[in-house]
Amino acid sequence: MMRLRLLLVSLVSVPLFAQSGSAPTLAAKPPMGWNSWNWFAGKVTDKDIRQAADLIVSSGMKDAGYNYVNIDDTWEGQRDANGVLHTNEKFPDMKALADYVHSKGLKLGIYSSPGPKTCAGFEGSYQHEQQDADLYASWGIDYLKYDLCGFRKIMDQEAPNDKAKQNQMMRDAYEKMHQAIVKTGRPMVYSLCQYGWDSVWQWGPEVGANLWRTTGDINPTFERMAFIGRAQAGLSKYAAPGHWNDPDMLEVGNGKLSLDENRVHMGMWAMLASPLLAGNNLSQLTPEVTAVLTNREVIAIDQDPLGKQAERIYVEGPIEIWARPLADGSRALAIFNFGEDDNYMRGISLHLKEAGADNGWHAHDVWTDKDLGPIMDNTNFTLKRHASVLLRLSR
């Protein structure tokens, strides 16, 4: 019975992912864009989203590939007597906002929860899944982030101390919204936000997910970003065109991250084939932060059509080496110093064979845009604290 159920889920998932015999038509590459939460949190307004769309275009981020403008929590108002959800005063006309974002050549994303309430206590989609999906489609929404938050209370009430039943309830709730999206006939990227519970990477595709959070929330500190990035080791086999592991949004440009730390963050997420959803204040973009976010070679690694997520091939103390194959036969290799020593790395092998390369391959330093010529396994690099080297290796 379970095998039949999974087969049926797989079949109805096809319209959201791919056409027979073709590459996936939605999220064939990790989604790129901007999300309101990291900077605005609950204060986001229609004006903020319009300004974000304008700045994504004027800053060059759109040309670099960022095309989703995603509204997070706190846009929701109340339901009327027919159960139709209305926006609150911060978002007076969602259809007009979507039209504005679309006029910029961008796409609009929105947020909800399978529970009665969202994380911030606003209206969720519980028992209104099809009604809400139809509403999003009528507005022209292109992306849905679906956050478990408000559904956890129901899980605890209906299945206290029964983890297996709670996990099944969670899967069913996500599948229910997936089916509702499919019935609208409008393609929407479907993003599961449930913090990696129940090894979501193993079943996310079965409920129609294009991406799924693998961890708890990020924050704008090097320590948290590094912890989350390093925790992705072992998940590469679950990422592929159409569905991606999501270690949460980018904090590049937020907090007190240095240039080296921003590069580690962006480089690690690119190596992981992660969705690249910026979360900074676009009105305060500096040339330094813009250069990190729009580096074409780094983005090309993230967006590589082969869709192979990097794996960690070496670790010793704070030093880690990660590698991933690329569609043209080249390899991306990243070296990270997650520690506090300013002169770490001398004498450590690059482990080229583990990366799928060999001595004599040509190396290009992505961040400095310098050709390094033939590289050898014993080529020496010295990394400052919280710094990295990102190489593209080719025959």
pLDDT for 83-122, tens place per residue?
999 999 999 999 999 999 999 999 999 999 999 999 999 9
pLDDT at position 382 is 86
Rounded to the nearest integer, the mean pLDDT of the chain is: 93
Of the candidates 312, 200, 280, the one whose C-alpha atom is nearest the C-alpha of residue 245 is 200
Q: What is the pTM of this model?
A: 0.93
Whole-number Å distance between alpha carbons of 351 and 373: 17
Q: Is the pLDDT of residue 74 over 80?
A: yes
pLDDT at position 2 is 37
Q: Is the pLDDT of residue 24 over 90?
A: no
Determine the CATH number of domain 311-394: 2.60.40.1180
pLDDT at position 4 is 34
pLDDT at position 23 is 42
Whole-number Å distance between alpha carbons of 27 and 16: 9
Whole-number Å distance between alpha carbons of 276 and 369: 21
What average pLDDT does range 198-220 have in this prediction?
Answer: 97
Q: Is the pLDDT of residue 219 over 60?
A: yes
pLDDT at position 3 is 37
pLDDT at position 7 is 35
What is the DSSP pairing of strand 143-147 with strand 189-193?
A: parallel
Q: Is the pLDDT of residue 361 over 50?
A: yes
In tens, the pLDDT along 168-185 reads 999 999 999 999 999 999
pLDDT at position 346 is 66
pLDDT at position 243 is 97
**Delimiting residues of CATH 3.20.20.70 domain(s) in the chain:** 2-213
Task: Write the class of the CATH domain 2-213.
Answer: alpha beta
pLDDT at position 348 is 80
In tens, the pLDDT along 286-319 reads 999 999 999 999 999 999 999 999 999 999 999 9
With a pLDDT cut of 90, the percent of the chain lying above it is 90
Q: Is the pLDDT of residue 13 over 80?
A: no
What average pLDDT does range 67-86 have in this prediction?
Answer: 98
Q: Is the pLDDT of residue 358 over 50?
A: yes
Q: At 183, phi and psi to the nearest 5? A: -65, -25
**Delimiting residues of CATH 2.60.40.1180 domain(s) in the chain:** 311-394
Starting at the edge strand that comes first in sequence, how are the strands of the sheet with 244-246 ordered?
244-246, 211-213, 189-193, 143-147, 107-112, 68-70, 32-35, 276-278
> Which residues are known catalytic residues?
147, 217
Confidence of residue 250 (pLDDT cuts 50, 70, 90): very high
Whole-number Å distance between alpha carbons of 117 and 342: 47
Confidence of residue 64 (pLDDT cuts 50, 70, 90): very high
